Amino acid sequence: MKILVCISQVPDTSTKIILKDSDTAINSQGTTWIINPYDEWYALVRALELKEAGTASDVHLVTVGRADVDPVIRKALALGGDEAIRIDADSNDPYETAHYIAEYAKTGGYDLVLCGKESIDYNNGTAGAMLAELLDADYVGFATDIQIAGTTATIKREIEGGEETDTCSLPVVISCQKGVAEARIPNMRGIMAARTRPLKVVTPTAVGAVTQIKSYQLPPAKAGVKLVSPDDMDALVEMLHSDAKVI
């Protein structure tokens, strides 16, 4: 069984975002980039667990981006992937991204495609479902457990107010979330080896985006701390009622 894991690059939550081009783009200079946590901690690690258990033979990693995403895909490779593919395109449109990945996946004969339930930058959570449609494969989202037996996948997923268990035949596309695997940290040997391993760069067929970002807006600056004398509880109650509106 061959597994393809989708990897996306996202800004670190601790980095300072600076906008440019009249607030229509993020200035990448000085921005710290990481692997999308849902892709790394859950989708990739579960794929590696399946390989270690002898269920899968190969785990390939794919990302969409220019050369600046190479460090991120190499970190994913350091965790234990067999091959890394970078689709040489720049897009923040989920359909366009799904199309590029599907175009490549059709040539690889993959039985299982895993991705995170969403990326922490745009929080769309739509690329996985689009990818399944483009591959004419089943899709199960928000998986908390994945088991493979022969050509059948058994997936537990969260639903409103509970949990359901689904079974389907391979190939299948699954988006993963917390619970599906335990996060792991790459060791130094894996990091050093990943630096010199080749990346497969693929030029995609152009496709039109279906969405376009008009502008970004940073959240408002946090207000300063208001100090209240411990002897003036009336003032505290008034602020909780009038300003915070919690009582």
Q: What's the number of domains the chain is made of?
A: 1
Indicate if the pLDDT at residue 133 is higher than 90.
yes
In a domain, 235, yes or no: no
Query: Residue 192: what pLDDT?
Result: 79
Residue 188 has pLDDT above 90, yes or no: no
Q: Where are the beta strands (DSSP E) in the chain?
A: 2-6, 9-11, 19-20, 25-26, 33-35, 58-64, 83-87, 112-116, 138-149, 152-159, 162-169, 172-176, 200-202
Per mean pLDDT, which range of 94-108, 153-167, 227-241 is the poorest? 227-241
**What's the pLDDT at 183?**
82
Instruction: Give the Å distances, CA to CA, from 206 to 36, 69, 118, 203.
Output: 25, 20, 24, 9
Identify whether 29 is part of a domain. Answer: yes
Question: Residue 207 is part of which domain span?
Answer: 2-216
Q: Is residue 221 part of a domain?
A: no
Neighbours of 99 (CB within 10 A): 26
Amino acid symbol at 87: I
Supply the CATH number for residue 191's domain: 3.40.50.620
pLDDT value of residue 194: 80
Q: Is the residue at 34 inside a domain?
A: yes
Residue 138: strand, helix, or coil: strand
Helix (H) or strand (E) holding 99: helix 94-108
- Mean pLDDT (the chain) is 92
Cα–Cα distance for residue pair 164/151, rounded to 1 Å: 20
| Per-residue pLDDT, 204 | 93
Sign of CA dihedral 52, 56, 57, 62: negative
- pLDDT tens for 8-45 read 999 998 888 888 888 988 888 888 999 999 999 999 99
The pLDDT value recorded for residue 87 is: 97
Can you give the pLDDT at residue 47? 96
Percent of the chain residues topping a pLDDT of 70:
100
Looking at residue 105, its amino acid is: A
Residue 107 placed within a domain: yes
CA 228 to chain centre: 43
Split at pLDDT 50, 70, 90, the class of 193 is confident
- Pairwise CA distance, residues 153 & 173, whole Å: 10
pTM of the model: 0.86
Q: In this predicted structure, what is the pLDDT of residue 50?
A: 96
Q: What percentage of residues in the chain have a pLDDT greater than 90? A: 62
Q: Is residue 242 part of a domain?
A: no
pLDDT tier for residue 221 given thresholds of 50, 70 and 90: confident
What angle is formed at CA 157 by the lines to CA 153 and CA 159, rounded to 5 degrees? 145
**pLDDT at position 218:** 85
- Would residue 241 count as lying in a domain? no
Residue 237 falls inside a structural domain = no
The pLDDT score that the predictor gives to residue 117 is: 95
- Model pLDDT for residues 41-92, shown as the tens digit of each residue: 999 999 999 999 999 999 999 999 999 999 999 999 999 889 999 999 998 8
Is the predicted pLDDT of residue 231 greater than 80, yes or no?
Answer: yes
Which pLDDT score, from 0 to 100, does residue 28 have? 82
